[in-house]
Structure 1
Amino acid sequence: MTTLQVNAKDRTYPVVIGNKALPSLGGWLDKSNPTAIFVITDEIIWKLHGEKVKKYLPESAHIVFIPPGEEGKRLDIYSNLMDQAITFGLDRKSVAIAFGGGAVGDVTGFFASTYMRGISFIQVPTTILAHDSAIGGKVAVNHPLAKNSIGSFYPPDGVYYDTIFLQSLPKRERLSGFGEVMKHGWISSPEFLNKIKKQIPSLEALMESDMSELLLEGMVVKKAIVEKDEFESGTRAYLNFGHTLGHAIENVAKYGSISHGEAITIGMTYALLLSELNDSKNPFTIHSYISYLKELGYVGDILLTLPFDSLWNAMKRDKKNQSQKPNFVLLSSIGQPKMQEVSYEKAKAAFHYLCTLWTGKGMMMQ
């Protein structure tokens, strides 16, 4: 078990990762002695793992269920959480605990940041994907027109990431989370990216590995970035590699039809294509990389159902933009990210090529 200390502007908080991290959650609750405990989760997670965490909670803890995935980040779900918190009698010394994946963490953190102008907030991640989202304090809910467009920066008081939860993850959840692991490799160093490919060469390896070493290294990458730029005024935006198209795919395809990590994985291949178009001196062997992704079980057929103009309009609403052109995170080389605006013509040409690489067919006609 390893503990990282993340230094935010307003607090330093522990990130405990490894087998048997949950007892540290019990220690935090005993030490902090909150007036009330408000656990936000979904029914699937609770049925699978509720007994594991209940032993560290008092009987008075209030368990609230939200829909799984992005459906749990709807505005009406957030409003319902407020209703229940007020009814339950939460006060300024209460704590909200996110028990689940990245979406649960997002909505719980945003709820905690706005209830009575801020209450304590703990992350107990249960997915691979959440190894990324649990660190850094970005919390949000979705607007129907744009993912994560209503949010704030609100660091947790602690992250307790027990890898025992990862053992039961199905294929789709593993593929979703592994996308963010690869993102950390692309933006950090060739050595980390090569280690990822070496340790996870196939779908079988992905399903059997606990990935604890890779997850820890990815968390160290994110920790270093968010400590330098907590409020995303500069280099923290590099963590959005693959997210410009990825978020647009989620939005246009309607949340839930493709997982976040799968959409981001497609978005990263798109960003690599755009990177090559902007600097042909640094080829990224995209053909072999997409072959590797297919070997793991990723598919790109959804691209054929999405009109490019709809994706373009969604990308223009991205938070990173400073004009009417989407602002992408591209790579000068592996481990050397940069921000770059991209024109409609170049973006459309790259998308057409992306569709061909993934599916062998052209993109959907306008």
Structure 2
Amino acid sequence: MSNSFGTLFRITTFGESHGRGLGVTIDGCPAGLELDVEAIQQEMARRRPGQSRLVTQRKEGDTVELLSGTFEGKTTGTPIGMVIYNQDQRSKDYSHIYDKYRPSHADYTFSAKYGHRDYRGGGRSSARETAARVAAGAVAKQLLAHLGVTIHSYVDQVGDIATNLPHEDLDLSQIDRNDVRCPDPTAAAKMETEILAVRKAGDTIGGIVKCVIRGVPPGWGEPVFDKLHADLGKAILSINACKGFAYGSGFEGVSLRGSAHNDAFYTDADGRVRTRTNRSGGIQGGISNGEDIYFRAAFKPVATIISDQESINEGGEAVTVVGKGRHDPCVLPRAVPIVDAMVALVLADHALRARSNRL
């Protein structure tokens, strides 16, 4: 099982949804970084369950305990170890599916691969695992802040309700001003109403998270196999429930001709190379060009619904999977800090790799 991610700035996560806890080891974080532990906790609060009516009501404080890698408030260059203890796991909620395969979950595939699975909330396949990623991403964010890089992920669409506004026309400082994490207040209100209606019906709904990255200088990215957009795509698609990734013009670009799609270069008043448009999404040839990097990530409706579903058990017999437990009616609000974290991990890694590209 692959539990590690990154090359120079590398993380390894561990733990299960209903185990004692979860954790992460960060290897490769440079020494001398003043680590703000409260900032790490703030990122955890954005991801944690039970934070609003729109998410699962599992109550977890998600307090991070820092085990190693710092001294007198600064990183030492040695591995940084962090752990988050589980507090409100209710394993009995899953006893009814100990031998049943829930539709569109990892139950069957984990059994097919390993011959044994943790049925309590999906074990390692649970989105609870992303708590460790957010903790690590919070450290990466602090490293990137020293380089002038900022990451802004937000909910762009829930079901058929979308902002319909380009990110340039949105005030991204407003992302956390509502429970949906959408910087368009009008769209956010409609999204919240829709999510609550779906929750009341015992169903779930999906949507799109958009991410805008600013301050990345030209030259980050490692052709040919570790192109910046390829690493971002892998990172985002590794998040639970993510079904698609498109950067820049994405799929919409196929309707344009090259003459309309190309981003023309010019030199601005400060002597910097710029592009007049940004359909490339800030990345050309797998390398950042200094413009804003932006992408959209599609998330499916959460597979766990509070309704009975037909399935089979481990013996291949037809069974009914009864809907019960505490689950998100929409993953989007809590996916935002996870997207932020995975982006930060990719960029921190490429920032360090870029330093070795030439004499």
Q: With the length of structure 1 as denominator, give the TM-score of the two structures.
A: 0.25
| Bigger strand share | 2
Larger CA Rg, structure 1 vs 2: 2
Q: With the length of structure 2 as denominator, give the TM-score of the two structures.
A: 0.26
